[in-house]
């Protein structure tokens, strides 16, 4: 059980490192993508997420939590975590705003969504932070493997 908790801590630190994005790397085009309404392929206008509203911030905090990184999430999962005043249709609407902008994708033939890796947020200056996180994870995995006498 101790190895499980140690591994969970390593994963959480890794995810927190990746989430530490320097907002200065965003160019005007990326900024506008999340600030202005867009029109999808069918000509339907999709509103931009409004981070001035508390419920939008709450939604994004839940969405970006580490529990949804590996397996994805469903509308139903988000509804259980969010406060009681959220309706299923409202969650679907917020997911649609992000899906149309490429931040979230719906997995084929399922009800699951996943966060995407957006190329707009890559920063070469932060590579050393990510490399440090990878080495921490590799050390933890090596420790677990040696304790269980596993061969890599």
Q: Is 33 helix (H, G, I), strand (E, B) or coil?
A: helix
Query: Tell me: the pLDDT tens digits for 106-144?
Result: 888 888 888 877 644 444 454 556 666 667 777 777 777
Q: Tens digits of per-residue pLDDT, 43-98?
A: 999 988 877 788 888 888 888 775 666 677 888 888 888 877 888 899 999 999 98
Q: What pLDDT is stored for residue 67 in this prediction?
A: 67
Give the model's pLDDT for residue 45: 92
Residue 151 lies in a domain: no
Tell whether 38 is covered by a domain. Answer: no
Q: Is 73 inside a domain boundary?
A: yes
- Total structural domains in the chain? 1
CA dist 149 → 136, 141, 142, 145, 146 (Å):
20, 12, 10, 6, 5
Tell me if 7 is assigned to some domain: no
Q: Is residue 90 part of a domain?
A: yes
Longest dimension (CA), the chain: 59
In a domain, 109, yes or no: yes
Q: Which domain holds residue 54?
A: 49-122
Q: What is the pLDDT of residue 128?
A: 58
Does 137 reside within a domain?
no
CATH number, domain of 106, equals 1.10.10.10
Q: Is the pTM of this model over 0.85?
A: no
């Amino acid at each position: 059980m101790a190895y499980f908790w140690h591994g969970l801590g390593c994963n959480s630190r890794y995810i927190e490192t990746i989430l530490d994005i320097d907002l200065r790397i965003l160019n005007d085009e990326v900024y506008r993508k999340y600030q202005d309404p867009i029109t999808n392929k069918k000509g339907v206008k999709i509103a931009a997420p409004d981070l001035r509203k508390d419920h939008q911030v709450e939604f994004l905090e839940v969405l970006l939590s580490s529990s949804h990184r590996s397996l994805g999430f469903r509308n139903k999962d988000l509804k259980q975590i969010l406060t009681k005043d959220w309706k299923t249709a409202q969650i679907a609407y917020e997911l649609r705003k992000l899906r149309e902008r490429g931040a979230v994708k719906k997995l084929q033939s399922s009800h699951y969504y996943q966060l995407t890796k957006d190329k707009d947020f890559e920063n070469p200056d932060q590579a050393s932070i990510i490399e440090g996180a990878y080495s921490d994870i590799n050390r933890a995995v090596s420790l677990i493997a040696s304790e269980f006498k596993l061969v890599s």
